[in-house]
Structure 1
Amino acid sequence: MRSFVVATATAVVVALTGGCSSGGSGDSTDPPETDDQSSAATPDTDVPVVDSEACEEVRTGIAAFNDGDYAGTVEHFVAAVPLAEDQDDGSALAGDLVEAVRYYAELDAERYPEAARSSRQFAKYKAITLGQCSPVGTEPESPGTDV
């Protein structure tokens, strides 16, 4: 039952953070979407893995982004792709992380500032990466409402 509740809550969060956009969103800052079915199976536990090599690369990529080093951001997300794929256990959360990491790895460095301001996909994947790869012992950042 707990697994069902977690899976349902995850689906609601994804839908609310932009998961309801169409496959061809038309955002000029979004790389092409892939038809990846890696997250089709959902295991009994669907818990984010915050302490992993993939998340370490993600956090380093986020830090580079925050410093305005967009080329460094891309480098770290490119390095995170195989790590995220290796830890993909078939769960929805793992599949979401792989999808988010691929998005940021494929986004051209010069397109990062505009995508961060206007892309629904960027916001969706930001919520995923911050939610799953926040530093251990910290609360994940809210995915969009700055006060």
Structure 2
Amino acid sequence: MRTLFSFVLCALLAMTCWAETTPAITNKDMLQAAIRQVTQLKITKQTDSLFYSPTTGIEDCCSWSALECFNSQLLNIPTSNKDLQAKLHKNLRKKVIVSSVDRCTVEQKSKVKCQSCNSYPMIDSHEFMKNLLSLLQKSFMQLP
């Protein structure tokens, strides 16, 4: 019984020390990881498929809407690395990424009418990924 108690105590102590020494993942880290994933995701072939793509002229306080638009179509992009594609799709929904892209208050957002996803121009998958990368890089540069 004493041995079991000692083992549990040591395990708890080890987990506490590990939790205290593991650095917290910051917004910059997560956004940088998403940027890296976008650059690593290779488009397999040029298809006739077109995607709605927010462009560089996204209105202030509409970046979150643009991110949602990109993410809603991301799984349809032709790529051989479906695992990375799914991971990027999941990461772009994380609160830490969304809050890094969306830096406006609820009040500021209520005063703005953002475009719907299907009102953006349709472009090929390569340009779509370039525009997504541009949005993430712009958001990264604006972080403190």
Q: Determine if the TM-score, normalized by the shorter chain, exceeds 0.5.
A: no
Q: Calculate the TM-score normalised by the size of structure 2.
A: 0.32
Q: Calculate the TM-score normalised by the size of structure 1.
A: 0.31
Larger radius of gyration: 2
